[in-house]
Amino acid sequence: MPFGRTDSIARQFRHRANRATVQIQPLEARRLFSAGLDGFGTVAADGNDLVADALGRVHRIWRDADTGLLKYAVRNPQQVWGPVSTVDNKRVGGEMSIEIDPQGRPAVAYYDYVNRDLMYAVLDGGNWLRSRLDSAGDTGDFPSLKFDPNGRAFISYYDRTNGDLKLAWQSNSGSWSTRALETAGNTGAYSSLTFSPAGLPRIAYSDVDGLRLKFAWQNANGTWEIRSIDKTVTAGVRFTSIAMDQANNLPYIAYYDVRKKDLRMAWSEGGAWHSQRVAQVGWQGEFSNLYVDSAGRPNVVYFNRSLGTTNLATLVSGEWKHSLLAIGGQHISITLGPTGKLLMNHVDPLTGLLRTTTTNFDYQPTNDPAQRIIHWETIGGSGGPVSKRTVGWPLDQPGVGWAGYVSGRGQQLKNLGMRRLFLHNPFGTLPWEPFQFDQYIHAQQAGLTWLTNGFTEAFKPFVESGVEVICYIGRLQGDFDFDTLTNFDDYMDRVMRSIRPMIDAGCSIGFDSIVGATEDSRAYMVVKALRDSGIKVYAENRPPADYPWWHDHNGVYYDDGWIDSNPAVNPTLHWAAPNSMLRGEIIRYTAHHPSGYGFWDLAWRGPNVVAILRDGHTASTDIDYLNREGLTLQGLMNQALAQSRPGVNGVPFSERKVEEPVPEDPIVT
């Protein structure tokens, strides 16, 4: 028996065995990136670094996960990536560092893994000019490259053979010198270099034997001094990062406390060093990157391993304020653009994919019907009893669950050409509550294991086969369970528990009633962080005209709601963003049938889909019902392309009239 919903919704599955099914050759699994980099510059990598030049171009290096080779690409101010080049045809290991030299050329310090040497390369006229700076033993890991105010290159690095902190530097003539700065014990790992306002080097690093944070600095007379910092750390530090408050000549150092699994920061003031915890709940602080903003405030970007997120901590009036930057976040590197905007690389630990933050999310529609026609599937609100969170699908039956849904219903829809599936309330909803962003948690609390277990395992291979699954899970802003959580760590813990099974499966996330969130709100922070991580997000309804941070987001609308909310059609909504402002994908759901039809009647969805496609938008509908009408996705796209003006049966699109849904309508609002 075909997989189907119960109660009134089951009628769409009647006589399916007697209906002809249009067989479509399955598309190849979607490639996450191609020879030309996508907007995020997505590649499989681990070690990496980036820097922005004065023109706003972003230069990025990374170690290719498959070959171990050091790669480079530059992104122009329009956020289009250029071709990828290879810096060195030998494998590289450890860390790497990139800066812009005084001639405006990208310069790279890296560790030659084959020969165990410190290397330096400059891109000159399209060619990488490489120099071997130190080849004595195994040396060159943890390089940190900076140019002093006179334009000379300095590199701090680790001599693994001797366990020394070393420094390489250029003379004014361009020749290189090296020296060991500390030779006692095993020191120099995780080196991080910066300069004082007077142009004197300052280096933070790890004492591997002494298990302490170390700081080395050069005096004006050329002599060097070294001291240990933070006696509270007793099991070693990693991921040191140093930055200067240049206006006040204050060094700050961020680092990871290995024993306590905490992020800490140390700073010098009046010759005395102080330290404190920055983040401590759970396992936080790896891959820390420190910078000082234009207001002189220290900021630390770091990985929260407990939640699998990349966070930002900013010291404001003596208190650390935390925010979410991305999902995932190993191998983090950061830089500041010419206007002070934070740019970041981070690697998703689940996929091993490196991404660079971007702000170019303008949508460009294609004529591929599998991308422009989405199947809408209501789960919560599909006719089931309250005890099942109104889920009418037989997921609770023996041998079914999400695995049965995907292998049955999912494969049936794929055979009809579906490549995008909109799951509405996948973990159920209750009729007296607004859509819940934490519906997965509520389903767990209700003991509905048939609804919560096995989701990731069922959908991950489905997504990897080339199907985008959009999980529309409800309202974050205004949800009591979230609004009452004042502590950032508590808030993010609930957010991540709410979405973890879906993002682990590779699904996209849809937000209900979110576009009223202000730019500084936690709700928008979550939306932005998901999108910055390469996770597609979709926001319901038309945003205000004076909320530009929403204008390039993908939008989800009832078809008639999209029309009626247009201020050009409905002047009372003068505050709403007009169509011309919206740059994301517009998804319009054929939720409400026209006058003269019932919701389950045939013949009305096809014309609505054509009208939506003709407007350049994406139609979300019931693809199974389109098939019952004898329609194919390609045929509907062909109709839309052949028609010259918006309208349905000669009626201008904006003048179409609709009725409210009859009670059997599966959508619960």
Helix (H, G, I), strand (E, B) or coil at 572: helix
| 575 neighbors 543 (Cβ within 8 angstroms) | no
CA 543 – CA 582 distance, rounded (Å): 9
DSSP state of 92: E
Helix (H, G, I), strand (E, B) or coil at 412: helix
Helix (H, G, I), strand (E, B) or coil at 633: helix
SS3 for 484-537 is CCCCHHHHHHHHHHHHHHHHHCCCEEEECCCCCCCCCCHHHHHHHHHHHCCCCE
- What is the pLDDT at residue 7? 34
Q: Give the C-alpha distances (Å, rounded to integers) separating 87 from 71, 119, 643.
A: 6, 11, 51
> Hey, what domains does the chain have and what are their CATH numbers?
57-229 (2.120.10.10), 366-655 (3.20.20)
537-540 and 508-511 beta bridge pairing: parallel
- What is the pLDDT at residue 599? 87
- Return the percent helix, strand and coil in the chain, to nearest 5: 20, 35, 45
This prediction's pTM: 0.88
- pLDDT surpassing 50 at residue 27: no
Burial zone of 13 (CB within 10 Å; 0-12 exposed, 13-18 middle, 19+ buried): middle
| 653 neighbors 609 (Cβ within 8 angstroms) | no
**Residue type at 462?**
F
- What is the pLDDT at residue 659? 33
58-64 and 43-52 beta bridge pairing: antiparallel
DSSP state of 409: I
- pLDDT surpassing 80 at residue 20: no
Where are the extended beta strands (E) located within 305-370?
A: 309-316, 319-327, 330-336, 342-348, 353-356
Helix (H, G, I), strand (E, B) or coil at 123: strand
- What is the pLDDT at residue 644? 52
Write out pLDDT tens, residues 636-652.
999 999 985 544 333 33
By mean pLDDT, which of 75-84, 186-195, 650-659 is the weakest? 650-659
CA 358 – CA 429 distance, rounded (Å): 34
Write out pLDDT tens, residues 459-498.
999 999 999 999 999 899 988 899 999 999 999 999 999 9
Write out pLDDT tens, residues 148-170.
999 999 999 999 999 999 999 99
**Per-residue tokens: 188:** 């120099």
624 phi-psi bin (left φ>0, alpha ψ -120 to 50, beta other): alpha
312 phi-psi bin (left φ>0, alpha ψ -120 to 50, beta other): beta
